[in-house]
Amino acid sequence: MITFFNDRHALHHGKMEMFRGELVPCFEVPSRVDHVLKELKARQLGAIESAPELADTSAITRVHSQRYVDFLTGAWDEWVALDPSNAQRDAIPSYWPIRTFRSDVLPASFPARMGLFSFDAGSPLTSGTWTAARAGAGCALAAARSVAGGERAAFALTRPPGHHAGVDFFGGYCFLNNAAIAAQALRDTGLDRVAVLDIDFHHGNGTQAIFYGRADVFTTSIHGDPRTEYPYYLGYADERGEGEGLGFNRNLPLARGTGFAAWREALAQALQGIADSKAQAMVVSLGVDTFAGDPISGFGLQSPDYLRVGEDIAAAGLPAVFVFEGGYAVAEIGVNAVNVLDGFRQRAG
């Protein structure tokens, strides 16, 4: 299994985030990826290719809107232009256009535009965010092209993560939706139908929203019940798609405290949905914040369980692009993420 590693990921390193009413040090830190990379090398899981090219904006705008990409491209410079001292602190949104507010008019005010293109105050934008995100999208594209070219699996090891980013918004630490970019890239190589399997603790609201009206990309997610878990406003079981996409979205929300046996049953249901959709390849949003020791999540998986997760995904028999997402128990993240990949490799042969 080849890994495409974003060696520019640390350019995005937020200082503080808003969490439960107070500013706290960011949970999403560069060492997350460093631990996974170290474990990959220790276990010799396959070739590691660094520094793919930054994703071209034409590939990014296959899933994200042009005006959102334009905003991200110049956001940091605009932030510093407001006040030179802003160069020493991250930009965090503080205004949002909720119900009855307009979103079609692009405000001249930078803080207003930042709110227009975001949905939380927990995702600081830094001087290196755009470069890191574009490099991560480049990893996702490289992994998708590798699988489309005949590889059984490939891994995009990158941060910031992506599955909360929608067509025109960031949040949940995510700025570009790497899984969606990879899925679209697989479609663009000629595959008729692909699937996205999201196994992060938090619902992949951005991925769902991007493909919700489409029948060519089946999306399915196993996650914490949105009645109590972030991102709260999507991820319910009755969200099945709309229009042509009706029946091509499946959510499997689970209660806080769910252990591996029940979680694995949900995985079986998700994989059956993928089989029924006639997908020819899958993209896996690989979050390991389902781990029992994760500080901001709430499932009970243990490190050996992730080997079984990889085996079950491999048993589906589809080529797979793995894209790194969440996981905030930093000391264990390398073992947990690589266990999924190792389990897949062992079962796939």
The DSSP symbol for 121 reads S
- pLDDT band with cut points at 50, 70 and 90 for residue 167: very high
Task: Evaluate if pTM is beyond 0.95.
Answer: yes
Give the tens place of pLDDT for each residue, 240-280.
999 999 999 999 999 999 999 999 999 999 999 999 999 99
Average confidence (pLDDT) over 109-119: 97
Average confidence (pLDDT) over 281-298: 97
Nearest to 340 by CA among 33, 36, 34, 27: 36
Question: Which one of 13, 163, 164, 223 is the catalytic residue?
Answer: 164
The C-alpha atoms of residue 43 and residue 33 are separated, in whole angstroms, by 16
Is there a contact between 218 and 179 (Cβ–Cβ < 8 Å)?
Answer: no
Q: Looking at the domain that runs over 2-64+129-348, which CATH code has it been given?
A: 3.40.800.20
164 in catalytic set = yes
The C-alpha atoms of residue 343 and residue 349 are separated, in whole angstroms, by 10
Beta strands at 2-5 and 48-50: parallel, antiparallel or unpaired:
parallel
The domain spans of the chain are 2-64+129-348
Rg (CA), the chain: 19
Give the tens place of pLDDT for each residue, 5-64.
999 999 999 999 988 888 899 999 999 999 999 999 999 999 999 977 899 999 999 999
For residue 65, the model assigns a pLDDT of 98
Q: Cα 173 from chain centroid?
A: 9
Dihedral (C-alpha) 163, 291, 154, 166: value to the nearest 10 degrees? 0
Calculate ∠ Cα 20-25-26, nearest 5°: 85
Q: Which residue has the tokens 């939706």?
A: 177
Is there a contact between 182 and 143 (Cβ–Cβ < 8 Å)?
Answer: yes
Tokens standing for 313?
């995904």
3-state secondary structure of 2: strand
For residue 22, the model assigns a pLDDT of 86
Is there a contact between 348 and 335 (Cβ–Cβ < 8 Å)?
Answer: no
For residue 340, the model assigns a pLDDT of 98
Residue 327 has pLDDT above 80, yes or no: yes
3-state secondary structure of 223: strand
